[in-house]
A = this chain, B = another copy of it.
Amino acid sequence: MKIEDLDTPSLIVDLDRMQRNIERMAEIARNAGVALRPHAKTHKIPHIGRLQLRAGSPGLTVAKLGEAEVFMDGGIEDLFIAYPLWGEAKWQRLCHLAERGSIRVAADSYDVLEGISQSAARHGIRIPVRLEVDCGFGRCGLQTPEEVRTLARRMGGLHGVTLVGLMGFGGQSYAQEDAEGIRRVAREEGEQLVGIASLLRADGFDIRDVSAGSTPTAPHVARVPGITEIRPGTYIFSDRDQVALGWGELDDCALTLLVTVISRPTPTRAIVDGGSKTFSSDTVAHGDGMGAVRNHPDYIVSWLTEEHGILEVPPDAHLPIGTRLDIIPNHACAALNLHDRLVAVRGENVEEVWPVAARGRVQ
């Protein structure tokens, strides 16, 4: 089957581009001497996770327990759930997973740790925990080294959890104006975590994991001495936002939406058959527009409604109804999350169609 045989819209990954992205980040981690534990929320597909393991990763990161279950079922048995889990149902599921493979989990409160501990104790197991530190993003995470130390000591009294590390996410990197800003966020994130790890070790805690970094910061934070792991996700596909933040060029983006021009209301307007339910409404931090048309930098994806993409094109553009375009989304993770299937292509050939197995696993 060829790409031209696909109906549209179709979510497509270019296998060669994806493999280059996989190898590029693997090499960054290898050169820095840190583990690469990719965030699988970007792709949600076990087969792609196995390609990341084949490139040297010990395991994956996930955000949702439901994602962890899908990847475990897909044979990936070393998982970090970078999310505070709440409630008896989730703690039970976590324990079932921990009995099947190597599971670590994030937490930033005694309440969550106590809940996990009680379930784990009933199962006769201990769950390894990484405490989350707020590295300036203002989302989850303990606010000060003292808060981390206090929680580390309190959790010593819980029988079902073991402190094994720290995690941070300097998400403010996405809002930086330039490469220097991103490097600064990465350095600060890394140094903050490494500093707290030292404090804890001085207190006698065995801190093995010091985990940081997303796609923009990972190449930099990986080189901060004491960091043991990076957790980028979007690098595997890249997208319009990541290119603006410095991860490769638009031509390196592996994930695209194949769409068709379905209306040409005016000489400068073309409508394609994908909108915010195909691409997501995610914008880019730097610049306008809702996507980039491959090979046509002069076409602007100016806005999206739910099922329509509105392109502004030069008046002399040869773009009859029926023309197919390949559009790089602003945010690959959000776009993929809208689709049940990902079509894997090499050149013009369709090689496989993968179910987006962990999509919709919101709990």
Contacts and interface: CB of A to CB of B under 8 A. Distances in A.
Copies in the complex: 2
Nearest to A106: B263
B86 A260 contact: yes
B265 A86 contact: no
Interface stretch (A20-28, A216-224, A300-308, A344-352): A300-308
A257 B210 CA distance: 34
Interface string A73-112: 0000000000111110110000000000000000011011
Interface in A269-284: 269, 271, 273-274, 276-278, 280-283
B86 A321 contact: yes
B141 A334 contact: no
B360 A265 contact: no
Nearest to A140: B263
A87 B7 contact: yes
B9 A263 contact: no
A139 B338 CA distance: 22
B139 A63 contact: no
Contact of A280 (B89, B280, B333): B280
Interface in A312-337: 320-322, 333-334, 337
A149 interface: no
A193 interface: no
A9 to B, nearest CB: 5
**A interface, over-half SS:** loop
Contacts of A261: 86
A339 interface: yes
Contact of A273 (B86, B276, B307, B360): B86
A97 to B, nearest CB: 15
Contacts of A108: 263, 265
A339 B360 contact: yes
Contacts of A322: 86-87, 111
B271 A306 contact: no
A277 B8 CA distance: 23
A40 to B, nearest CB: 12
Nearest to A333: B306
Contacts of A281: 280-283, 334
Contacts of A283: 281
A202 interface: no
B310 A89 contact: no
Given A322-B86, A360-B340, A171 B305 contact: yes
A41 B307 contact: yes
Given A112-B321, A134-B265, 8 more contacts: A63-B306, A86-B321, A87-B260, A111-B322, A276-B282, A280-B281, A306-B333, A338-B360
7 contacts: A8-B87, A111-B320, A134-B265, A138-B269, A139-B271, A139-B310, A276-B282
Interface of A: 7-10, 41, 63-64, 83-87, 89-90, 108-109, 111-112, 134, 138-143, 171, 260-266, 269, 271, 273-274, 276-278, 280-283, 305-308, 310, 320-322, 333-334, 337-340, 360, 362-363
